[in-house]
Chain A
Amino acid sequence: MNRYGPFNWILLILSSLVLLFLVAPLLGMFIHTGLGEFFETAADKEVQASIWLTVWVSFSATFLFAIAAVPFSWLLARKSFPLKSVVQGIIDLPVVLPHTAAGIALLGFISRDGILGKTASAFGLSLVNNPAGIAIAMAFVSLPFLINSAREGFAAVPERLEKAALNLGASRTRVFFTISLPLAWRSIMTGFVMMFARGMSEFGAIVIIAYHPMVAPVLIYDRFSSFGLTYARPAAVLFIIVALIVFTFLRVLSEKRKPVITKSEYAES
């Protein structure tokens, strides 16, 4: 025991305190939730619908916005342009904004008087109190996670690999899809999972745009404010468990990367 000096002991104690601070409330919540209450909540159709809504809307928002955000991240990693630092600041803005303020800002944008709301209502779609509005709110607050992670991933791909591919006659698009994207894949997937997770856990912006249909964080809040802690707790536990399962699955999936041309494809060719 004397091998460790006082500095190491202090580090150990401080680290343990931080970990305890993070784990204790969650653990307490799990301990205080009885199995009977838990299964009753899990069977509740309203809770099931809410969790499902949260998962699929957050996934769709992440997926759809990734289509534009990933190439944008490449641009940020590779190109210099005027006011680039301002653009980078704008990307990080949702992280520092109070999320209710973000919700208010978005509401002005997607309500019937806003530009996007007007356009959507021309097609007979109301974004307020609609999964589409929820997706926009989720994406607004969580996009920086995907963009920043993907940008770092692209920046870590040696530029000469892209140039070597161009030198071999490949188009810019082909280089992007065969070199840049596969090599930055891990960071992009990390960003994807982070954005998805942040979208799922969003409350502040969503509650202003769409109280109904209820996403899980709104449902938990609704149950807490209407019926109290005991009633909200099993729903929170269930949501956390589902979220953990989904993230673990996505993490495992993102670890698997395949070469563009595999041995079997070579044998077939």
Chain B
Amino acid sequence: MLSLKKISKKMGDFHLKDIDLEISEGTYYVLLGRSGSGKTQLLELIAGLNDPDSGEIWLDGENITHKKLQNRGIGLVFQDYAIFPNMTVFGNIAYSLNAGKADKARTRERVNVVADNLNISHLLTRSTHNLSGGELQRVALARTLITSPRLLLLDEPMASIDASLKDGIKRLLRQLNKQGLTIIHVTHDYREALSLSSRVGVIHNGQIIQEGKPEEVFRKPVTKFVARYSGIRNFFRVIFRNTDGKWIAISENNIKFNIKGSFSEGEGLLLLRSDEIRISVDPPLESSNCLKGIVKDILPSEYGMEVTVDTGEIFYVDISAETYKQQPFSELSEVWIEFSEEAGIALQGQ
């Protein structure tokens, strides 16, 4: 479907470097990166808004690197929607059809169909000046979908809409993808990536640093940057040691973690997901990693509560609100935390 080969582009101080990317038909690809990471620039190169300095872009077996953007058949929905303010909603959606001089009845019919699908039929005669963020976004989406693009590019589609509307948009995008539309969706929000993508690429400083299925990327981040992105907050600088055939990681504060897998001796990072750690007032009966500590802080989080425990190292533990209600601990209580050998994610050479 889409293939990027060694794409490079220098823009001021910023540099997209040797980007290689393969996206097959029907994929929902989420490109994840912070602002300034180069994700929007990459999207604009694919759409043809800018030309790369070097490298090639192939779409369906055709080299489109220098093809005019009008003829690429790639739909792009801009982050700020780029709605034409001098036209009505109808004018915006019908814009591409007028370019092809389609007859008026057919134009109206096609606009009505796409407007119905996106639930904006009631807006067609409106000026675009007083529309909400969600409405503008659906107009922008309708305007692009009516061109029946081969590939849909979305630049931060959830960035300027209310949280209450996000679920509806996600449903719509998922549905479009199920109907066979290949989508590349650029975002800085890993939760969007988790809930939508069939593949994820993490872009940082103009390079794609990890790519794969979302569960692979988020379960096994290859760098600290990706780990931070996936919501991991427990990072420990450790030394990996093999003692009697078993691997341990020793933190700077001399906490020993039992870990499973194949490593090489030396320095590195050990990562632990907050939801992989269990917390209790009583010591666990049997556990490969079990530590006693003091509760430093308890804060509401999106999963329920986040408990900060000091065991000599600081651990962030996520528990559900239900579990929290059943636990008789509070700030400064003595508690036990435990996690399995498999829970630790080792990053070596970081």
Residues of A within 8 A of B (CB): 158, 160-161, 163-171, 174, 178-179, 182-183, 257, 259-263, 266-269
Shortest A182–chain B CB gap in Å is 4
Contacts of A269 in B (CB 8 A): 104-105, 107-108
B85 within 8 A of A: yes
B86 and A171 contact, CB distance less than 8 A: no
Q: Chain A interface: which of B10-18, B68-76, B172-180, B234-242?
A: B68-76
| A267 vs B78: C-alpha distance when bound (angstroms) | 29
Q: A160-B78, A160-B82, A163-B82 are in contact. Are A168 and B96 (CB under 8 A)?
A: yes
**Shortest Cβ gap from A173 to chain B (Å):** 11
Which residues on A sit within 8 Å (CB–CB) of B74? 167
CB pair A168 B99 closer than 8 Å: yes
The 9 closest A-B pairs by CB, nearest first: A261-B91, A164-B82, A269-B104, A168-B96, A182-B86, A170-B99, A266-B90, A160-B82, A169-B99
Question: Looking at chain B, what size class is its interface with the partner chain?
Answer: 20 to 34
16 CB-based A-B contacts, threshold 8 Å: A160-B78, A164-B78, A167-B49, A167-B144, A168-B99, A169-B96, A171-B99, A174-B99, A179-B86, A259-B127, A261-B87, A261-B88, A266-B124, A269-B104, A269-B105, A269-B107
| Cβ-defined contact, A260 with B99, below 8 A | no
Which of B86, B99, B108 touches A259 (beta carbons < 8 Å)? B86
A168-B144 in contact given A160-B78, A163-B82, A261-B88 (Cβ < 8 Å): yes
> Looking at B84, B96, B108, which has the most chain A CB atoms within 10 Å of its CB?
B84
Known interface pairs A168-B96, A169-B96, A179-B84; 11 further A-B residue pairs with C-beta atoms within 8 A, sorted by A's residue number = A161-B82, A164-B84, A167-B49, A167-B75, A168-B95, A169-B70, A170-B70, A259-B91, A260-B87, A263-B88, A269-B108
Q: Which residue of B has the minimal Cβ distance to A168?
A: B96
Bound complex: CA of A249 vs CA of B143, how far in Å? 38
Give the distance in Å from the alpha carbon of A164 to the alpha carbon of B70 in the complex. 10
A181 to B345, CA, bound (A): 57
Contact yes or no, A165 B84, CB < 8 A: yes
Given A169-B100, A263-B125, residue A163 in contact with residue B87 (CB < 8 A): no
Residue in B74, B86, B124, B125 whose Cβ sees the most chain A Cβ within 10 Å = B86
B86 touches A260 (CB 8 A): yes
Residues 116 to 160 of chain B near chain A (Cβ within 8 Å): 124-125, 127, 143-144, 147
Which residues of B sit under 8 angstroms from A261, Cβ to Cβ?
Answer: 87-88, 90-91, 94
Say if the beta carbon of B80 comes within 8 Å of chain A: yes
Question: Which residue of chain A is the closest to B80 with respect to CB atoms?
Answer: A160
Contact A169:B147 (CB < 8 A) given known A164-B76, A260-B91, A261-B90: yes
**B108: A residues at CB distance < 8 A:** 266, 269
Report the minimum CB–CB distance from B245 to chain A (whole Å).
Answer: 59
Q: How far is the CB of B115 from chain A (nearest CB, A)?
A: 12
User: Does any Cβ of A come within 8 Å of B272's Cβ?
Assistant: no
**Residue numbers in A under 8 Å from B84 (CB-CB):** 161, 164-165, 178-179, 260
Q: Which residues of A contact B80 (CB under 8 A)?
A: 160
Which chain A residues border B94 with CB–CB below 8 Å? 261
- Decide if B32 is an interface residue (CB 8 Å cutoff): no
* A183 partner residues in chain B, CB cutoff 8 A: 85-86
Q: How far is the CA of A164 from the CA of B85 in the complex (A)?
A: 12
B47 at the interface (CB under 8 A from A): yes
Which residues of the partner chain B approach A259 to less than 8 Å between Cβ atoms?
Answer: 86-88, 91, 127
The distance in angstroms between the C-alpha atoms of A178 and B86, with both chains bound, is 9
In the bound complex, CA of A266 to CA of B85 (Å)? 16
* A269–B91 alpha-carbon span in the complex (Å): 11
B163-197 interface (Cβ within 8 A of A): none
Of chain B, the residue at the smallest CB distance from A181 is B86
- Bound: A262/B108 CA distance, A: 14
A266 nearest CB across to chain B (Å): 5
Given A259-B91, A269-B105, the answer on whether A168 and B86 have CB atoms closer than 8 Å is no
Q: Which residues of A contact B95 (CB under 8 A)?
A: 165, 168, 170, 178
Which residues does chain B contribute within 8 Å of A166, judged by CB atoms? 69-70
- A266 near B147 (CB under 8 angstroms)? no
**What A residues does B124 contact at CB under 8 A?**
266
- Within 8 Å CB of A168, what residues of B? 95-96, 99, 143-144, 147
